[in-house]
Amino acid sequence: MRTIGLMSGTSLDGVDAAYLETDGEVIGRLGPRLTLPYDPALRRLLRGLLDRAETLAEDDPELRDAVRRLTDRHAEAVEALGLEADLIGFHGQTILHRPPVAGRNFTPFTWQVGDAVSLARRTGMTVAYDFRSADVAAGGQGAPLVPVFHRALSAPLPKPLAILNLGGVGNVTWLGPEGEMLAFDTGPANGPLDDWARQHTGKDYDAAGRLALAGQADGAVLGRLMAHPYLTAPPPKSLDRLDFDRALKEAGAAELSAADGAATLCAFCAVCVAAAARLFPEPPLQWLVAGGGRRNPAIMKALQGALEEPVRPVEVAGWDGDALEAQAFGLLAARVAGGLPITFPGTTGAPRPLRGGRIVGSLL
């Protein structure tokens, strides 16, 4: 199938769109990709919705406005790509993610917003969407979803292999030599660092890691953050972008200088990844890093210091680190259309390999 995958991540920076030809199992061809940034007003609107997501009503006027503008931007990304496809994989924007947590009594749910019907109508293409809900309803974490794509993409590479994606939240896929998959969220990544940079410099992120490289990680704050129970909890596990906000405040991060705070957040990102590595069945031969975090020299330096194995950007394997998540939703869309499972016991804690997603358009 000819697919276009769309992804808007927790960093809230824009829409990634990527063309992919696949049957859901094997990747036939990776085509063009692009990123359409969100304008500052839409980014502020989305961030405001995340901040009050716990009490947000579905008929909230700001939410309706955000859904319309978000969907329009996704349609513009498809149009800008300029390619016909059989199917679009539309993740939408996560507003709140509350997966099951042992010992906590609440109804798990996951909430991604976006108007799939409107997107199908505007593009004239079939749209697969709502990839996470079925897994959460069955007791899974609803995340991560990309491991089955990582497995297909890395088929020729030596195993064990770890693929680390550093967006607003970090997530890792461990792949074994017999096709085994283990995946989970590692902890905060770019999200807190972006917020810190915005607060202290007025910039949307710490460009080239300059702020962090000018500072020193604070050992006391880092030690308090390392005591967070999430880091030693066994998988399956996943996070919402804001889950560590309270821990950062209680650890005293707000009292640090701009540079030292940024350095501490980079170090904490790496510590979280190192803690994740201790949960693998066996050490990987190497780490391949995707997402915006691989462009931050301070984060990459911290990772190289925290991990024993080689740490490299995914480009060394010939992959495009800015396209992987969008490409993944192209492959997931094909799996939804083909009735193939998209989540697994080793990736989300699903009770069995589960199908998921919904389709609107001509493939119904």
Residue list for the binding site for ATP: 9-16
Q: Is the dihedral of CA 201, 204, 207, 210 positive or negative?
A: positive
CA atoms within 13 A on the CB side of 312: 13
Residue 324 CA to residue 303 CA, distance in Å, equals 20
Mention every residue, 6+ apart, whose C-beta is less than 8 A from residue 101. none
Q: Give how far Cα 363 sits from Cα of 77, 119, 149, 332, 336, Å.
A: 22, 15, 22, 15, 11
User: % helix / strand / coil in the chain, to the nearest 5?
Assistant: 40, 20, 35
- In this structure, the dihedral spanned by the alpha carbons of residues 282, 288, 294 and 299, taken in order and rounded to 10 degrees, is 20
Q: In which order are the strands placed within the sheet that holds 287-290?
A: 181-188, 169-175, 161-166, 287-290, 311-313
Binding residues: 9-16
What is the rounded CA–CA span in Å between residue 350 and residue 131? 13
Is 114 within 8 Å of 128 (Cβ atoms)?
Answer: no
